Homo-oligomer: A and B are copies of this chain.
């Protein structure tokens, strides 16, 4: 006897599943959510699962969020420039790990012009994470939208998670140039990225390392890839610079291109090392030395870290991340 069969157009609800399985609505919830502290007999559990399967039941996420007060969404705010090569691996790995724990990772590149409604307003994420401190107005907006966890925390001076801002790469660039005999270095980045917090973070790491090695403090040089950067290269050579640590491989390629066009040679006239081991580092002629990061491991670490924050777990984060690897090619 068919009692109000769900029509084709209506999406089945937990009540439909309960009726189909002959149990109460609450029991359906307990089974489907594996609610701890509830002991459901095997038979009941099976019946519920089969009924859900048969009806193609998917819980309504808005209702769940409203009732539970948690969206199970983690919002990762990415810097708007530059998108790193291999970021894809990082995000895939992080998403997969968070998915296993029942969370969805949404990435969001905040626009420079801040007039648009920020994404956390529409998503009510349980956690918003960024690679650097958020502006006071962003923090206020998140708080007003009910975001309970923000990282980096607006009031605490925590170090940024290692998976988001790694200093080992720039350090290794400086070490490598130093080993190759270079004593006067500059750090190069694209002028288009001068607002990027990642640039300043990496530059700072390079400066600290140079100081430790007893080198002069490398200058931060903003170059423009559109003009060939020839002027900058001539200036550096005039100032006795012999080594360039670049923010990423694109920057390294821009510098290397200027060197080649000026009729100079690498690494004899100028040594250049990039960062990320992007395809261009292989394709460029000459091949570009660079630093390879284990982004898969970093992504996993990010997931651990985010779960730690969102579930308020105390103690340290377990995952170890292998250090970056030097890839030496023809430019150093």
Q: Give A contacts to B, CB under 8 Å.
A: 11, 56-58, 60-63, 65-66, 71-73, 80-81, 83, 88, 91-92, 95-96, 99, 104, 106-109, 111, 113, 115-117, 119, 121-124, 140, 144-146, 225-226, 228, 250, 253-254, 256-257, 260-261, 279-280, 282-285
B residues in contact with A111, CB < 8 Å: 92, 95-96
Q: Are A253 and B283 in contact (CB under 8 A)?
A: yes
Residue of chain B at shortest CB distance from A75: B106
Cα of A63 to Cα of B69 in the assembled complex, Å? 10
Chain B residues within 8 Å of A99, by CB? 116-117
User: How many copies of the chain does the oligomer comprise?
Assistant: 2
What residues of B have a CB within 8 angstroms of the CB of A116 in the complex?
A: 95-96, 99
Given A99-B116, A254-B279, A284-B284, also A71-B80 (CB < 8 A): no
Inter-chain contact B226/A282, CB cutoff 8 Å: yes
A282 CA / B146 CA spacing, docked (Å): 46
Q: Which 10 A-B pairs have the closest CB atoms?
A: A62-B65, A104-B122, A99-B116, A62-B66, A257-B283, A56-B144, A260-B285, A254-B283, A225-B279, A253-B283
- The CA-CA distance from A250 to B283 in the complex, in Å, is 8
Q: How far is the CA of A72 from the CA of B121 in the complex (A)?
A: 11
Closest to A102 in B: B117
Chain B's nearest CB lies how many Å from the CB of A223? Answer: 10
CB within 8 A of A88: which of B61, B109, B228?
B109
Listed A/B pairs (20) with beta-carbon separation below 8 Å: A11-B144, A61-B121, A61-B122, A61-B123, A62-B66, A88-B109, A95-B116, A96-B113, A96-B115, A96-B116, A104-B122, A104-B123, A106-B106, A225-B279, A226-B282, A228-B282, A250-B283, A253-B280, A284-B284, A285-B285
Return the chain B residue nearest A259 by Cβ.
B285
Not counting A106-B119, A257-B283, a sample of 7 additional A-B residue pairs whose C-beta atoms are within 8 angstroms of each other reads A11-B144, A60-B146, A61-B123, A104-B123, A257-B284, A261-B285, A280-B280
> What's the minimum C-beta distance from A297 to chain B, rounded to whole angstroms?
17
In Å, the complex CA distance between A285 and B58 comes to 54
By a CB distance below 8 angstroms, the chain B residues around A106 are 106, 108, 119, 123
Specify which of A96, A104, A140 lies most central, judged by the most chain B CB atoms within 10 Å of its CB. Answer: A104
Given known A-B contacts A61-B123, A122-B72, A123-B123, A279 and B257 have beta carbons under 8 A apart: no
Q: Complex Cα distance A66/B66, Å?
A: 8
A144-B62 in contact (CB<8A): no
CB distance from A274 to the nearest CB of B (A): 12
- The residues of B that contact A92 with a CB separation of less than 8 Å are 109, 111
| Contact partners of A124 in chain B: CB under 8 A | 60-62
Q: Which residues of B contact A283 (CB under 8 A)?
A: 225, 250, 253-254, 256-257
Partner of A146, one of B11, B115, B260: B11
B residues less than 8 Å from A121 (CB atoms): 58, 61, 104
Query: How far apart are the CA atoms of A272 and B83 in the complex, in Å?
Result: 26
CB distance from A35 to the nearest CB of B (A): 19
